[in-house]
Chain A
Amino acid sequence: DIQMTQSPSSLSASIGDRVTITCRASQDISNYLAWFQQKPGKAPKSLIYAASSLLSGVPSKFSGSGSGTHFTLTISSLQPEDFATYYCQHYGSYPWTFGQGTKVEVK
């Protein structure tokens, strides 16, 4: 199975900060990578697919990049509604697996 490892596991940031989360795959997954946002007690929300394509309605402050084994999610200017846990996930081959999550907290 492909292992997905996110770093950091948590981070503290202030409103307006630029935040970057890293996701590494244990083997080459090309660009078969998605990112999700989850707030406490809520269902995940899909943000990005194909490593860098934003789903419809997702603000442009979110961006994704990478290919192969190294990927990043960047939030250009953190807003109060962005404090949440973020997950990466590969979907190139079964079983699909998720990273362990990165919790973005208020500094």
Chain B
Amino acid sequence: EVQLVESGGGLVKPGGSLRLSCAASRFTFNSYRMNWVRQAPGKGLEWVSSISKTSTYISYADSVKGRFTISRDNTNNFLYLQMNSLRAEDTAVYYCARDGTYYDVLTGYHYFFDYWGQGTLVTVSS
């Protein structure tokens, strides 16, 4: 079965940086769009960023735009999230999620989260 394993989380001071990794296995990584989704303690889910198969198309939530950078290594099957200028409100569990694809004859292509990693906790605190 598809496996996504995040790492790189930890405690960092406000203004600091952290790089998250997501190791992908048991599927053809370069055939799928990938995403980061986060969840603050006791809160709901928030989409953070998406990257296309060849890194051509990248999108960010406004809350992280200009501070976070998503990237991928299709040779070694890794997804990354470089997080700079971290704030207390970035404290969350960060999940990587794969995009499934479905073509609907009426509405076109659908890209939806189909598999999730177990998450890695990022705590921003002084």
Contact = CB atoms under 8 A, between A and B. Distances in A.
Interface of A: 30-32, 34, 36, 38, 42-46, 49-50, 53, 55, 87, 89, 91, 94-101
Contact of A46 (B59, B102, B116, B119): B116
Nearest to B98: A46
Nearest to B47: A96
Given A44-B95, A50-B110, A98 B44 contact: yes
A2 B103 CA distance: 22
Interface centre among A43, A50, A94, A98 (most CB of B within 10 A): A43
Interface in B58-82: 59, 61-62
Contacts, number: 67
Interface string B8-50: 0000000000000000000000000000010000001111001
The interface centre, meaning the residue of B111, B112, B113 with most chain A CB atoms within 10 A of its CB, is: B112
A49 B116 contact: no
Contacts of A46: 100, 112-116
Interface of B: 37, 44-47, 50, 59, 61-62, 95, 100, 102, 104, 107, 110-119
A14 to B, nearest CB: 26
Contacts of A36: 45, 113
Contacts of A38: 45
Q: Among A42, A96, A99, find the residue whose CB has the most chain B CB atoms closer than 10 A.
A: A96
Given A49-B100, A49-B110, A91-B110, A97 B47 contact: yes
